[in-house]
Amino acid sequence: MSLVTSKEIFKKAYHGGYAIGAFNVDNLETFQAVISAADRAKSPVIIAITANVRKYFHPVYLKNMIKAATTETDVPIVLHLDHGQTVADCKEVIDDGFTSVMIDGSAHDFETNIAMTKEVVEYAHARGVVVEGELGAIAGMEEDIVVEDQYGQFTHPDDAVEFVKRTGIDSLAIAIGTAHGAFKYRPDQTPLLRFDILEEISSKLPGFPLVLHGSSSVPQDKIDIINKFGGQMADAKGIPEGILTKAAGMTICKINVGSDLRIVFTGAIRKYFSEVPEEFMIRKYLVPARKEVEDFVVDKMTRVFKSANQA
């Protein structure tokens, strides 16, 4: 199967009450693991690539990796630029075959964000590519931020409506309490998403696909493996999986996961080195690490996002 855009799979997810996982891959092994997991689970999948990761892979190698993946499985695959920081970044990957781009203008003022996003939308839509925008502050430690109203630093529903209308985007990443990285909350904080804001945005934008970034669950059993075998991630804490499943059953059609894959991969390698300290053959420790990530992603698709058998 050739690459697809997210338009149709989001439509199915919206009405089917499930979400599509967007998995940030960092190397060949995690890329292979996510593709194999999607094939096993018979789930649509979004391969999320940042500009820096694209450079790390090298665009030519990445293009051929994607080509190989589309010949190995029939599940829908979206190749997505994650957190494109500039209009130029987005245009470059569109011209290079990406089927989806995110233009992240959330660090700019509202009008600048709209102008940047609209320019990308016009360029992308003319070439059959879909666009994700972002509105609100997706960060950690929300309690430390001084706010002036009930929405605070989160996405304001009325702003979301105006943003979608004026830019013509295909999906919107909203800020309702998720955060990037493996240390999303202080040890004394209880992870909480603002489902009231999600419901209000959804009511004002019926049928429109919404996105959650920073949604790694940071599973404690995987953190325990890292710490047991020499790591130092004692205070790592993520989004409980039950919260993600609830969001997937509402209007969240895409859930981004990156840190979890790195945690699983790193833990497997640390464990292998500890148990087989004399080993130096690279594939000997990369193969089991890749398998751990594959199994983890299958579980996410099946049990948490409910996207299995939706391909």
- Give residue 202's identity as a one-letter amino acid code: S
The catalytic position among 26, 74, 82, 299 is 82
Q: Is 82 a catalytic residue?
A: yes
Exposure pattern of 80-94 as b/e (b: 16+ CB <10 Å)? bbbbbbebebbbbbb
As annotated, the active-site residues are 82
